[in-house]
Amino acid sequence: MTVYGGHSSRTTLVSLLLVVMMMMATLSQKFSRCQVDASPSMVITTTDPGTSSSNVAAAAAATQQQQQRDGGIPLNVSDDASIRHAASVAAYSLQSFYNGNRTGGTLGKFPYPPYYWWLSGAAWDGMLHYWLFTGDESYNNITWMALVSQISPTNNYLPVAEMFDEGNDDIAFWAFAAMFAAEHSFPDPPSPRYPSWLRICENVFDDFVTRWEKSSDTCGGGLRWQVFSSSAGWDYKNSISNGGFFQLAARLARYTGNGTYLTWAEKVWDWSERIGLVEATDLNVYDGAGIDSGLNCTKLDHTQWSYNIAVYLYGAAVMHNITVPAGTGVRQRRGVWTNRTEGLLGVAERMFFGADDGGSDGLKNASGVMVEQACELDWSCDVDQFSFKAYLARWMADTTVLVPHLKGRVGGLLKSSAKVAVKACTNVDAGDARFKCGAHWYMGKWDGSIGVGQSLSVLEVVQSLLVNDTKAPENVQFIKCDATSWDDQVVLFKLAVIVSPSKSCDVVVANAGITGPDEIFTLEDPSTEPTKPELRILNLNLVGAMYTFKLGQHYLRARPESEDGRDRCFIFKGSVAGLLDQPGSFQYSASKFGLRGLMRSARWTSWQEGIRVNYIAPWYTKTTILKPQVIEILASKGIEFSETADCTTAVLRIACDKSINGHSFAILPRSVAEHGYVDAQLDDDQGEPWNSLQKAALAASIRTMAASTQTAQ
């Protein structure tokens, strides 16, 4: 669920025209952990899915003191606390290799040599997963700075320092991290210098499309491995680059609802099958195909690496999870993608999880243990290949979130691997790393190797055991809508119902609003004919909101409240300008007072249909629609700003608490409101004679006669 916060009531910028639809399935995920504090402060809290950062660190330190020096990282795969402790130790081991925040290092990059740029992006994606799975925010700041530091001037992860060594697969791994950040609401890069994580991923996608089309003279399409012709590998089209394109397109399609991304995901998969990178029937995934010397992808490298099958596996899982909106021209093929997901998982299980045959092949104690079979058995893995198991563990776990019926099957493989993986770590002479981890897990002990790939792989397989405590990536769809157009809003509501898992709407936020020059404020020469004013602000802010309310009542009532306590909620996004005087803003003030009046009228009737109606009133708030110079002017006038997070919390409070109906919540600076918002308390108990007059008005209203004995909750 996306909730848009407050905005300045005096800025001349136009805010996005948005009506936010919150579906039942999304609400149940968001609010299943919601605890409402009944105190007057109206604080919303969330149950802690894990241990706090300080507790994790303390527990990890205590565990280390108790263990045998070479016995590996202690882990009980049936105990979440133990898993978090082990993950924190592995995360620390990984971060011990990072020097980007030290003298001589490069921000965002693990040191080269030996670690190439792509591996840094992959590692930061692992740290994002660590944050999501464990709830430990210790590394969030350094992760955020790393991801921002490598954004190129063209906003597509093509930094100048790496430009002539970059492959399309390298860029894909950084884009995966940015996509995960967008999907899980990790803070965006600073605006306006940088765009959002989503926009960066869209830019990478656009680049992939352009490169695909430019190289379509060979093999009928497909991405080359390398971006520049001067790089070794230019004449090779490989699975990790094209699988990366496929997965990114699928995730963008799911996140945005844009049919273009969906079409390209289908196209890349179909090409991969046609060329033979992915076998159509058996679903083996091979490394790539050459295009030099006229080969034209006719000769495949049949090596099978775990990260190749993993990148297609998660992309297929995303495609399985997508609901295709009507009118996109794309067929709904969930059954096809379910079969492909299950088939790819079967290949991964067969190829990369050892079977114990008594140890004759060197895989002693390796039953169900992840093995990079192309290089581990002959000890030929290079620095990059040591990390491949990390992505298989990561994307197997992520797959279970979108394809839940695979949880048991995947969970068993991850548990058996994690039990042995932690034994590949040792704290003997580990120094600042505390633990150093090796690659050959099946040995049941440290193999003498260390590195980013080894620590990342252990981290991923351990923290993936916590995947069942996480939710699916946010499925937010942005639909272009002119809020002054009745027809546009009808389409928006219909689409919301189509893409909703429950085929209904539960919460509607009328969020569209603008301000700007007001012609009513312009005083003309009284000796001339007056000019008819432009009422654009009033039409959008008030008339558009009335359209939204009319449609909201219709679609919120489409499925009446059920026995499980499900309720409906409509929220008007107003402004403190609807509570206080604001000279000169005639249309803006009229519209915001009008919205509050609309709420006060509706609260007496909508409750009879099981719909709660409330109003939020943000104060001046710093958002990306405020230009820096506007912020400076407001600050010079003594304005303190409220926080967008507090606006979001107020909306969540209203959505969570079924007892709240007919109230105006003001979003205020923390200096005047301890928790960032308060009930304005301007809509009830106004004293005499107003209370008596209000009762008389209710009694005289035909529509509210049945409600005349009721009060707004």
In this prediction, residue 567 carries a pLDDT of 81
Give residue-wise pLDDT tens across range 370-385: 999 999 999 999 999 9
Question: Are 117 and 171 a contacting pair, CB within 8 Å?
Answer: no
In this prediction, residue 248 carries a pLDDT of 98
Half-sphere exposure of 262 (CA within 13 A, CB side): 24
In this prediction, residue 324 carries a pLDDT of 61
Q: Name the one residue in this structure whose structure tokens are 């995920």.
A: 29
- Three-point CA angle 454, 456, 460, nearest 5°: 120
Question: Are 341 and 281 a contacting pair, CB within 8 Å?
Answer: no
- For the chain, domain boundaries: 474-523+532-703
In this prediction, residue 293 carries a pLDDT of 84
How far CA 60 is from CA of 53, 123, 401, 421, in Å, comes to: 11, 21, 28, 17
Question: Are 98 and 73 a contacting pair, CB within 8 Å?
Answer: no
- The 3-state secondary structure of 334-388, one letter per residue: HHHHHHHHHHHHHHHHHHHECCCCCCCCCCCCCCCCECCCCCCCCCCCCCCHHHH
Handedness of CA 96, 101, 103, 104 (dihedral sign): positive
Q: Which helix (H) or strand (E) holds 21?
A: strand 19-22
Q: How many CB atoms are closer than 10 A to CB 663?
A: 21
How far CA 52 is from CA of 56, 85, 135, 422, in Å, comes to: 6, 11, 7, 22
Question: Are 542 and 591 a contacting pair, CB within 8 Å?
Answer: yes
Question: Are 174 and 238 a contacting pair, CB within 8 Å?
Answer: no
Question: Are 677 and 646 a contacting pair, CB within 8 Å?
Answer: yes
Q: Tell me, what DSSP letter sits at residue 2?
A: -
From the options 2.40.40.20, 3.20.20.30, 3.40.47.10, 3.40.50.720, give the CATH code of 474-523+532-703. 3.40.50.720
How far CA 175 is from CA of 145, 178, 447, 510, 675, in Å, comes to: 15, 5, 33, 33, 36
The ranges of the chain with pLDDT < 50 are: 1-68, 326, 356-361, 561, 563, 704-713
pTM above 0.75, yes or no: no
In this prediction, residue 48 carries a pLDDT of 29
DSSP assignment string, 47-78: --SS--HHHHHHHHHHHHHHS-TTS-----TT
